[in-house]
């Protein structure tokens, strides 16, 4: 008797078997975008796995954090590989999450009945940025130390709760070992717990509702006609695995040939070195805040910028509820234009932010 039979006899796998047999993926010209979510998910699991491995040697204190990372990359066998993969995978994950976000935005896959999938996805994107922000500080090097000072300083510009949230993030008035402890707790416990739960919800919704078909493709169908479906097992999952192999190849090449710098140990009393920049995915935001004048209509510029980003984030979460045309299954060019503008803004400001003095 096979293992599956043994389990089946006890748990009755009829439903699972039915699900596996029936699950299909619609076949059409834009189905290439379906792979991005799976690739992001794959990188999320890489992060969990390598993150747990790094925990074996990492020490979260201002006195030891830098040295412990140094120990991992210089003394521990393959420690350099694990750390490089973790750092590169984090960046690829955010890049792919953004690509996934924009593909869903352009294809209007968020429209009824998938509003909640979009909301959970947006929250996941924010969580990933939180992962990036908190993880950046953990090696306790000069760059990350000052970038965290600036980043948490921005939180201080939030109206009303600014000072409160700044102190909450930093664990005091300044970025110190207390900040490191907090970011560590966030990075290895709070965020993973939230993200894992949200990923579960996100996937459950995707499974329950199946893949969304773009409006244009839907419109071309004759009444009563159904799109051709590809079986998920094994046809589609094997293609997914192929995409994951592509990710592994890129990741391995980056980790092997472009080691992630550790830099010099953070010194709170050192002069800020020139060229302090956040990670690339915060550059657009960072550069925008630099451009806002110090006072606009009597409001502090920084504060205005933070309010604007808050409104933009809220808008993004609410897109499926605001795009009424897409909900009715009609073409919705306004939101296509908005997505395009957002994409152009992000790309151009990231590049300008990278090279601006």
Partner 1 sequence: MITIGDLPPRDGVGRSEFDRRHFLDALLIVGFTSTAAAIAYPVGRYLVPPESGEPATASVVAGRAGALRANSAAIFKFGSKPGIVVRTAEGELRAFSAVCSHLDCTVQFKSDTSQLWCACHNGTYDLAGNVVSGPPPRGLETFRVNLRGEGDDAEIVVSRT
Give the torsion sign (CA, 247, 114, 117, 229).
negative
Q: Does 78 bind partner 1 (CB under 8 A)?
A: yes
**Residue 38 neighbours by CB distance under 10 Å:** 20
In DSSP terms, which residues pair with 300 in a beta bridge?
295
Q: How far is the CB of 15 from partner 1 (least distance, A)?
A: 20
Q: Does 16 bind partner 1 (CB under 8 A)?
A: no
Q: How far is the CB of 80 from partner 1 (least distance, A)?
A: 10
Q: Does 250 bind partner 1 (CB under 8 A)?
A: no
Q: How far is the CB of 35 from partner 1 (least distance, A)?
A: 18
Q: Binding partner 1 by CB under 8 A: which of 18, 75, 207, 209?
A: 75
| 53 vs 104, beta carbon nearer partner 1 | 53
Q: How far is the CB of 195 from partner 1 (least distance, A)?
A: 22
Q: Binding partner 1 by CB under 8 A: which of 161, 178, 204, 238?
A: 238
Q: Is residue 326 within 8 Å of residue 335, measured between CB atoms?
A: yes
Give the pairing of strands 24-26 and 229-231: antiparallel
From the list 79-87, 150-158, 208-216, 269-277, the region that binds partner 1 by CB under 8 A is 79-87
From the list 72-80, 103-111, 267-275, 331-339, the region that binds partner 1 by CB under 8 A is 72-80
Helices of type H across 142-257: 142-155, 162-170, 177-185, 191-209, 215-220, 237-257
Q: Binding partner 1 by CB under 8 A: which of 26, 37, 60, 79?
A: 79
Size of the site for partner 1 (CB under 8 A): 13
Interacting positions 51-70 with partner 1 (CB under 8 A):
53, 56
Interacting positions 284-313 with partner 1 (CB under 8 A):
none
d(CA 260, CA 196): 26
Tokens for 105? 């935005």
Q: Binding partner 1 by CB under 8 A: which of 10, 77, 228, 357?
A: 77
DSSP secondary structure letter of residue 24? E
| 80 vs 106, beta carbon nearer partner 1 | 80
Q: Binding partner 1 by CB under 8 A: which of 159, 200, 234, 310?
A: 234
Q: How far is the CB of 146 from partner 1 (least distance, A)?
A: 31
d(CA 20, CA 266): 52
Q: Binding partner 1 by CB under 8 A: which of 123, 243, 248, 317?
A: 248
Give the torsion sign (CA, 260, 264, 267, 272).
negative
How far is the CA of 209 from the CAs of 24, 181, 203, in angstroms? 11, 41, 10
The residues, any chain, with a CB within 8 Å of residue 40's CB and separated by 6 or more, are: 93, 96, 97, 100
Tokens for 128? 């990933």
Enumerate binding residues for partner 1 (CB under 8 A). 53, 56, 75-79, 81-82, 234, 238, 245, 248
């Amino acid at each position: 008797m096979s293992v599956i039979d043994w389990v089946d006899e006890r748990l009755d796998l009829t439903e699972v078997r039915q699900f596996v047999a029936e699950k299909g993926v619609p076949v059409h010209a834009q189905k290439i975008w379906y792979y991005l979510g799976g690739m992001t998910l794959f990188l999320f699991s890489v992060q969990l796995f390598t993150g747990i491995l790094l925990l074996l040697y990492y020490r979260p204190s201002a006195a030891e954090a830098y040295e412990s990372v140094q120990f991992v990359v210089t003394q521990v066998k393959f420690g350099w590989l694990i750390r490089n993969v973790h750092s590169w995978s984090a960046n690829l994950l955010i890049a792919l999450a953004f690509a996934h976000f924009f593909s869903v935005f352009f294809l209007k896959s968020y429209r009824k009945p998938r509003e909640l999938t979009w909301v959970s996805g947006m929250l996941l994107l924010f969580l990933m940025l939180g992962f990036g922000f908190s993880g950046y500080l953990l090696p306790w090097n000069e760059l990350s130390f000052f970038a965290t000072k600036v980043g948490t300083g921005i939180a201080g510009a939030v109206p009303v709760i600014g000072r409160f949230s700044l102190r909450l993030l930093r664990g005091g008035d300044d970025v110190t070992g207390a900040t490191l402890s907090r970011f560590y707790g966030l990075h290895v416990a709070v965020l993973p717990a939230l993200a894992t739960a949200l990923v579960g919800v996100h996937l459950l919704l995707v499974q329950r509702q199946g893949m969304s078909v773009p409006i244009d493709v839907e419109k071309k169908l004759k009444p009563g006609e159904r799109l051709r479906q590809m079986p998920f097992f094994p046809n589609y999952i094997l293609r997914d695995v192929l995409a994951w192999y592509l990710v592994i190849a890129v990741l391995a090449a980056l980790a092997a040939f472009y080691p992630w710098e550790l830099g010099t140990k953070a010194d709170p009393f050192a002069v800020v070195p020139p060229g302090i920049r956040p990670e690339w995915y915060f550059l657009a935001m960072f550069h925008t805040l630099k451009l806002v004048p110090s006072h606009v209509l009597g409001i502090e510029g920084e504060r205005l910028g933070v309010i604007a980003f808050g409104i933009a984030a809220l808008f993004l979460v609410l897109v499926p509820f605001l795009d009424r045309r897409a909900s009715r299954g009609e073409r919705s060019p306004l939101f296509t234009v908005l997505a395009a503008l957002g994409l152009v803004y992000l790309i151009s400001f990231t590049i300008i932010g990278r090279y601006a003095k």
